[in-house]
Chain A
Amino acid sequence: MNYVAPDSLEDAYRALADADAVCLAGGQSLIAAMNLGLAAPGSVVSLRKIGALRGVDVQPDGGLRIGAMTTHAELAAMTTTAAGPELVARAARLIAYPAVRSRGTIGGSVALADPAADYPVALQAADASIEIGGPCGSRTVKARAFFRGLFETDLQRGEIVLAIHVPPGAPGAGAAYEKLSLVAGDFAIVAVAAIGKDLLDLAVGGCGPTPIVATGIRSSSEALAAAGRTLAASCDPPSDHRGSAAYRRRILPEMLRRAGQAAAQRASA
């Protein structure tokens, strides 16, 4: 395996032109996959020296532009009053363990698109966008269109996730991230992200190849229960050692209710 750590995006794009090259961000999934024999890249392009991928910038509207190499620990420590960024911070706090949060990055997680990962759920509820760069320029794709399938995204060969744009959310909106896992730090059995006030935008993870989204749901118990039943009936959850598909369908409505009502309670009048 070849290893390079370019200083600039331009050099990174050049290195990624090699058909057998992959990006290395925090490495918390890629190196695990290599150790398990699930990945054997011919060339690794480390993004750690590229300054353009770092930093969290508050936008004029109160939203954030989060550089792709921002770690889970940095996002977990973030204090914010806007609901969109708060939702991302709440999800970051529940990812894996301290030693993984200190190295794992939001860009790496988004690019991998693990069906049980936390950011894809939070980012779709928050209606975030993914800024992507490549040798032919950059483009921005809504998170709700970016995640296409099991470990499958809109990223094209040779492209790099540059940043995540998180809108602030409606004025006074609240945010909640509910995650059920076997033990603290494990991947979710079911996770629900919720943002809003009287009307909520919700996303459910762990119940299919990509998160499923429901927008404009009223925050009453009845409305959330009805939305939960609809999503449970239409989703396609896996059966694995964490839980059966039937179990995931069974708990989804209650998880949705808890997240939705927590978000609504955190909304300011």
Chain B
Amino acid sequence: MSTAPHHSSLVVNGERRDVLAPASTTLLEVLRGPLELTGTKRGCNHGVCGACTVLIDGKLARACLTLAADVGEHPVVTIEGIADERGLSRVQRALVEAGAVQCGFCTPGFVMALTSLLDSRPQPSADDIREALSGNLCRCSGYIKIVEAAIRLAEGEGA
């Protein structure tokens, strides 16, 4: 049985990136290692904390629970691919303006979750927001400001 490194040809933030890594390597390890995209954070490494949240094929995914080899042709978007031409995206600006960034470790995951929510539902209710953020932990426990930022976005501010 072959244990040679597996070749993955990933599309990350719109760029084709070729990676040679053991087949057991997760997408998170590939992003933070060879691809040097360290905005995606390694928290619990078993799917609970949400710090490694990325988009695969436009859908939220845990980079730690996905083998790089299993991504295939599906495009990956990380926090580095979220900023718009003005610098920070409107979700990022709203979090900064609401004072929703404390130590900042969980912030990339929250940005991905909120970006995905607002793309699919531009005017979510407060309950929708809490449900959408249920898979992201903030160990500074700064949830109130994060939800406030999201409510402002839902009300059309920060566009």
Contacts and interface: CB of A to CB of B under 8 A. Distances in A.
A100 interface: yes
Interface in B66-100: 66-67, 69-70, 72
Contact of A102 (B6, B60, B131, B136): B60
A85 to B, nearest CB: 22
Interface in A29-55: 31-32, 34-36, 42-44, 46, 48-49
Interface string A243-262: 00000000000000000000
B23 A32 contact: no
Contacts, number: 98
A228 B136 CA distance: 35
A96 B50 CA distance: 11
Contact of B135 (A20, A43, A99): A99
A102 B54 CA distance: 12
Contact of A42 (B1, B22, B56, B62): B1
Nearest to B22: A1
B53 interface: yes
A2 B23 contact: yes
B72 A48 contact: yes
Contacts of B130: 184
Given A97-B135, A98-B60, A99-B113, A31 B65 contact: yes
Interface in B122-146: 130-132, 134-136
B134 A1 contact: no
A34 B59 contact: no
Interface residues of A, number: 31
A183 interface: yes
A42 B134 CA distance: 34
A103 interface: yes
B134 A43 contact: no
B47 interface: yes
A3 B61 contact: no
Contact of A99 (B2, B62, B69, B72): B62
A102 to B, nearest CB: 4
B70 A27 contact: yes
A20 to B, nearest CB: 8
Nearest to B66: A27
A28 B47 contact: yes
A44 B6 CA distance: 12
Contacts of A34: 24
Given A2-B3, A32-B65, A46 B70 contact: yes
Interface string B97-116: 00000000000000001001
Contacts of B66: 27, 31, 103
A102 B59 CA distance: 7
B34 to A, nearest CB: 17
A170 B64 CA distance: 42
Nearest to B60: A99
Nearest to A96: B135
A1 B2 CA distance: 8
B131 A184 contact: yes
Contacts of A184: 130-131, 134
Contacts of A48: 70, 72
Instruction: Point out which of A1, A44, A73, A99 has the most chain B C-beta atoms below 10 A from its C-beta.
Output: A99
A183 B62 CA distance: 19
**Lowest 8 A-B CB distances belong to which pairs?**
A97-B135, A3-B23, A99-B60, A102-B59, A32-B46, A184-B134, A1-B24, A31-B65
14 contacts: A27-B65, A31-B47, A31-B67, A35-B26, A35-B65, A46-B70, A49-B72, A97-B134, A98-B134, A99-B50, A99-B53, A102-B61, A103-B61, A185-B134
Given A99-B61, A184-B134, 8 more contacts: A2-B23, A24-B70, A42-B1, A49-B72, A97-B50, A98-B116, A99-B50, A185-B135
